[in-house]
Amino acid sequence: MDGMVQAPARAAGVAVGIRGLRKAFGGPAVLQGIDLDIPAGQFLAVVGRSGCGKSTLLRLIAGLEQPGGGSLTLRAGQDLLAPAAAVRLMFQEPRLLPWSSIGGNVEVGLPRGLAAAERAARARAALAEVGLAERAAEWPAVLSGGQKQRVALARALVSRPRLLALDEPLGALDALTRIGMQALVEAVWRAEGFTAVLVTHDVGEAVALADRVILLEQGRVAMDVPIDLPRPRRHGDAALAALEARILDRLLAAER
């Protein structure tokens, strides 16, 4: 993997520029004018109540939905990029193809037109990154939930995306597996330098992982909190707990 560092493939993150972004599904607008700048390489966490439009925002960034108004651009330096080329999305469920081997599932993340040998080699390398290199030939059905989600992470990373969008990918995991996955996501993010946007219900997870946490409320960015704490961060750190309490207070206040 290190051999690829000097190749142009070492993708630095993209910067995201969002201006007055609106989206409605027939009824009242879900997003009613989002303004947000995500610098290249930043780790952004998005929190908010269920149904506030977090997934919708992420799907807009990933190009799976079209904006109802406003603009959304992805930039690397001066170049404008299409979401399909730059963004990889990780879902709450692993969404692996049960009829493809684990290696074959990771290859889904690769661009087309590569030789078979190279595809397999890159898939194996991505699997090694998530600690599953030996399992490439097996069916996904034999994996545990946490392992499946690691395969999904490898699939998202194998094309070296410049933005990784994560929609509560750890929501269904048990506490211990979750902490392990958080460390893994943080490690690959630091190693690869992509921009990360993590949607999560767990404010503790958001402040532990992100450079910055935004809170969505009534279709707008209601709170924007930088997390300027050194990494690696320790669970139960007092400064983290204080930030978490501040965001939670705001979330609960909106609830009333």
Partner 1 sequence: MSGAVLAPAGLAAPAAGRLGPAWRGLVRAALPWLLPALLLLAWQAGSMAGWIAEEVLPAPSAVLAAGWELARSGELLRNIEVSTWRALTGFAIGGGLGLGFGVLTGLSRLGERLLDSSVQMLRNIPHLALIPLVILWFGIDEAAKLFLVALGSFFPVYVNTMHGVRSVDPQLVEMGRAYGMDAPTLFRRIVLPGALPSVFVGLRYGLGIMWLTLIVAETIAANSGIGYMAMHAREFMLVDVVVFSILVYALLGKLADSLARLLERLCLSWNPAYRSA
53 binding ligand ATP? (CB under 6 A)? yes
Q: Is 54 in the site for ligand ATP (CB under 6 A)?
A: yes
**Closest by Cα among 52, 65, 75, 69 to 223:** 52
- Out of 32, 42, 55, 200, the only residue in the binding site for Mg ion (CB under 5 A) is 55
Strands 15-24 and 29-38, how do they pair? antiparallel
CA distance 10 to 26: 41
Tell me if 30 contacts ligand ATP by CB under 6 A.
yes
Tell the smallest beta-carbon distance from residue 255 to ligand ATP (Å).
14
**Candidates 47-55, 119-127, 141-149, 240-248 — which segment interacts with ligand ATP by CB under 6 A?**
47-55
> Residue 197: which of 164, 150, 158 has the closest Cα?
164
Ordered alpha helix ranges (H), 31-174: 54-61, 83-86, 102-107, 116-129, 145-157
User: Which one, of 157, 153, 155, 195, lies nearest residue 170 by Cα?
Assistant: 153
Which one of residues 55, 147, 159, 182 is an interface residue with ligand ATP (CB under 6 A)? 55
Which of ligand ATP, Mg ion, partner 1, none is residue 56 near (CB under 5 to 8 Å by kind)? ligand ATP
CB atoms within 10 A of CB 242: 10
Question: For 230, left (φ over 0), alpha (ψ -120 to 50), or beta?
Answer: beta
CB nearer Mg ion, residue 15 or residue 45? 45
Should residue 122 be labelled a site residue for ligand ATP when binding is judged by CB under 6 A? no
Query: Counting contacts by CB under 6 A, is residue 98 touching ligand ATP?
Result: no
User: Which residues are at the interface with partner 1 (CB under 8 A)?
Assistant: 62, 64, 84, 88-89, 91, 93, 95, 97-100, 108-109, 111-112, 139, 141, 155
- Picked from ligand ATP, Mg ion, partner 1, none, the partner binding residue 247 (CB below 5 to 8 A depending on kind) is none
